[in-house]
């Protein structure tokens, strides 16, 4: 099969719904010639059902990115299936309910710590777990939601995404000598499972109705998925530590 990912082996996390950016990334990666393996938590069986809708079969591995045992066994399981990796997609984020929805000033540190661990530190954990599989270099691509701003209802996920963005830059710095690139896609709001867990998400999404230069469709994750696939490919061979906005242009708008 020809395509910009022909011959590539890609690990994709976070496929929970057919409406997710991760699902469309996996689909597009397969269509562009890649072999794809998925990870899932906490319900691998759910991801296995969704994976049946991909163009080709994809194995699903259970992976809790806060569990050292899961991280330690990941490389061996992936090597058995694919032999190695050329790309990793980090599509993982979580914050407890008391860290969202307008509760910023009252959120306890325990909840903040969980948000930071799952949503930011996990980029480093996942990348290091996969590092032995990328002996000839590769591309790590994560998903963020523009952390330059304080968004309505987003609360502690905002600082968590800011930490994710900084983590990506430091990984880019430290892994460049091994020919591993680390970049992020900053996507506009998508009606995914993660989004639906944010109280008042529709208020946040209305920003795009009023301010996006390009018409934004919350029901269309494909543009973001295309951005991820492009960064996984060899078409960005010297791009690292970058944040590519796939948000209809909202990030350029002033008042």
pLDDT, tens only, 82-112: 999 999 999 999 999 999 999 999 999 999 9
- pLDDT confidence band for 195 (50 / 70 / 90): low
The DSSP H or E segment spanning 246 is: strand 243-246
**Would you say 252 is a known binding-site residue?**
no
Q: Which domains does the chain have, with CATH numbers?
A: 9-247 (3.40.50.720)
Mean local confidence (pLDDT), 148-152:
91
**Would you say 185 is a known binding-site residue?**
no
> What is the pLDDT at residue 63?
98
- pLDDT confidence band for 142 (50 / 70 / 90): very high
Kindly name the residue from 56, 59, 124, 154 that is annotated as catalytic. 154
The answer for residues whose C-beta is within 8 angstroms of residue 145's C-beta and 6 or more apart is: 151, 154, 157, 161, 186, 187, 189
Residues present in the chain in total: 255
> What is the pLDDT at residue 193?
56
Q: What is the mean pLDDT of the chain?
A: 94
Secondary structure (3-state) at 164: helix
For the cut 90, the answer to whether the pLDDT of residue 192 exceeds it is: no
> What is the pLDDT at residue 124?
98
- pLDDT confidence band for 147 (50 / 70 / 90): very high
**Would you say 196 is a known binding-site residue?**
no
Q: Using a pLDDT cut of 90, give the percent of the chain over it.
A: 87
Q: Phi and psi (nearest 5°) for 144?
A: -125, 175
Kindly name the residue from 124, 161, 170, 177 that is annotated as catalytic. 161
Q: Is 170 considered catalytic here?
A: no
pTM of the model: 0.95
> What is the pLDDT at residue 248?
96
> What is the pLDDT at residue 202?
75
For the cut 60, the answer to whether the pLDDT of residue 216 exceeds it is: yes
Q: Using a pLDDT cut of 70, give the percent of the chain over it.
A: 96
| Start-end of H helices in 83-219 | 109-116, 122-130, 157-175, 193-196, 201-211
**Would you say 76 is a known binding-site residue?**
no
d(CA 191, CA 75): 32
Q: Is 161 considered catalytic here?
A: yes
β-sheet with 9-12: strand ranges across = 60-62, 35-40, 9-12, 87-90, 138-144, 180-187, 243-246
Torsion of CA 228, 168, 8, 224, to 10 degrees: -10
> What is the pLDDT at residue 201?
73
- pLDDT confidence band for 207 (50 / 70 / 90): confident
**Would you say 197 is a known binding-site residue?**
no
**Would you say 194 is a known binding-site residue?**
yes
**Would you say 161 is a known binding-site residue?**
yes
pLDDT, tens only, 9-50: 999 999 999 999 999 999 999 999 999 999 999 889 999 999
Residue 88, strand partner residues: 11, 140
């Amino acid at each position: 099969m020809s395509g910009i990912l022909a011959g590539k082996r890609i690990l994709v996390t976070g496929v929970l719904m057919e409406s997710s950016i991760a699902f469309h990334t996996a689909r597009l990666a397969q269509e562009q010639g890649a072999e794809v393996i998925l990870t899932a938590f906490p319900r691998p069986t759910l991801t296995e059902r969704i994976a049946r809708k991909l163009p080709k079969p994809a194995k699903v591995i259970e992976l809790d990115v806060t569990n050292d045992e899961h991280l330690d066994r990941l490389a061996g399981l992936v090597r058995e299936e694919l032999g190695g990796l050329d790309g990793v997609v980090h599509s993982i984020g979580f914050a407890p309910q008391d860290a969202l929805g307008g509760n910023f000033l009252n959120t306890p540190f325990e909840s903040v710590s969980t948000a930071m661990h799952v949503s930011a530190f996990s980029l480093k954990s996942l990348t290091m777990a996969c590092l032995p599989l990328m002996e000839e270099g590769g591309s790590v691509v994560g998903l963020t939601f523009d952390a330059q701003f304080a968004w309505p209802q987003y609360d502690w996920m905002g600082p968590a995404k800011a930490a994710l963005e900084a983590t990506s830059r430091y990984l880019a710095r430290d892994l460049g000598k091994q020919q591993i690139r680390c970049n992020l896609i900053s996507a506009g709001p998508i009606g995914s499972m993660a989004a639906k867990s944010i109280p008042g998400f529709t208020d946040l999404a209305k920003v795009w109705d009023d301010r996006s230069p390009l018409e934004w469709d919350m029901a269309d994750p494909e543009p973001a998925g295309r951005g991820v696939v492009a960064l996984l490919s060899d078409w960005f061979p010297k791009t690292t530590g970058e944040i590519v906005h796939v948000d209809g242009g909202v990030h350029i708008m002033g008042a």
